[in-house]
């Protein structure tokens, strides 16, 4: 009985689209980062960013509201508005050589279920 209950819980969590990051494509450092926000994960267009100014294009491809907040260490370097499904916003951030950028969704509970990611920044 316990095994059956545990299996049902695992299947329920898996069916919720629990947070994970869709692996970004390999390639050279990018000056543009497209962030797809899908219930409850990010899909990134690049694995590594070029130091300096980066254009971020955030698109909510999910069925609930999402945003993306970018930080380096404890410092917020940029964020989108909370976007309705289908919404899109473009903004720029400055990224530091060699310092990874953390992405998270600040909508209540989304980060806790795994809606966060990290992208590397080239050293130059």
> What pTM, to 2 d.p., does this model score?
0.81
Per-residue pLDDT reduced to its tens digit, 48-77: 999 999 999 999 999 999 999 999 999 999
Tell me how far apart the alpha carbons of residues 1 and 86 are, in angstroms, rounded to a whole number: 42
Give all strands of the β-sheet with 32-38 in edge-to-edge order.
21-22, 41-44, 32-38, 52-60, 88-95
């Amino acid at each position: 009985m316990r095994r059956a209950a545990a299996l049902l819980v695992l299947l329920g969590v898996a069916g919720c689209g629990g947070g994970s990051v869709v692996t970004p494509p390999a390639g050279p450092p990018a000056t543009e980062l497209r962030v797809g926000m899908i219930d409850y994960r990010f899909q990134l267009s690049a694995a590594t960013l070029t130091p300096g100014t980066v254009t971020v294009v955030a698109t909510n491809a999910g069925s609930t509201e999402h945003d993306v907040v970018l930080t380096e260490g404890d410092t917020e370097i940029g964020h989108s508005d909370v976007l309705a499904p289908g919404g899109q916003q473009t903004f720029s951030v400055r990224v530091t050589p060699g310092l990874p950028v953390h992405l998270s969704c600040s909508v209540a509970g989304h980060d806790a279920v795994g809606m966060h990611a990290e992208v590397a920044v080239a050293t130059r």
